[in-house]
Amino acid sequence: MKREELMINDMVFDYTNSPVKVCAVGQDIVVKNSFRIGSLEPNELSPIPLTEEILVKNGWDFRDRQYAIECEEDVQGIVELSRDKDGYYWSINWDEYQIIRIHYVHELQHILRLCGIDKEISI
């Protein structure tokens, strides 16, 4: 992965294919899981593919051929993900944003943060 793709709290795979959370991005990338904290190079990390199982596990409801989650109290609306042949595209309050495709968990986390939603993602 590239350093520029990552933000603090992103979930990615480490070189052992274990999910880790990014804690700091600098010369090295500091990551942690439930067992350890350590520094890794970007080439020792890989993105976690976004799957329907991950969406369901994290509270997304399947309705009207889309996955949806209610925004938090201070943000009005619904974020929806629609699947097509090239990943997911997202919408908030039914305004579609098809320019940005979402293929990985960290990309979904970025979209949620931009919408003001601070949601932990479980893998």
The string of pLDDT tens digits covering residues 31-57 is 998 788 999 999 999 999 999 899 889
**Res 99: pLDDT:** 59
Q: What is the pTM of this model?
A: 0.84
Measured in whole angstroms, the distance separating CA 74 from the mean position of its chain's CA atoms is 21
pLDDT in tens, 58-100: 888 887 767 777 666 555 566 778 777 777 877 776 666 555 7
65: left (phi over 0), alpha (psi -120 to 50) or beta: left
Q: Residue count of the chain, please give it.
A: 123
CA 113 – CA 51 distance, rounded (Å): 19
Q: Which stretches does DSSP call E strand in 1-123?
A: 11-13, 19-25, 29-32, 37-40, 61-63, 66-70, 78-84, 87-92, 95-102
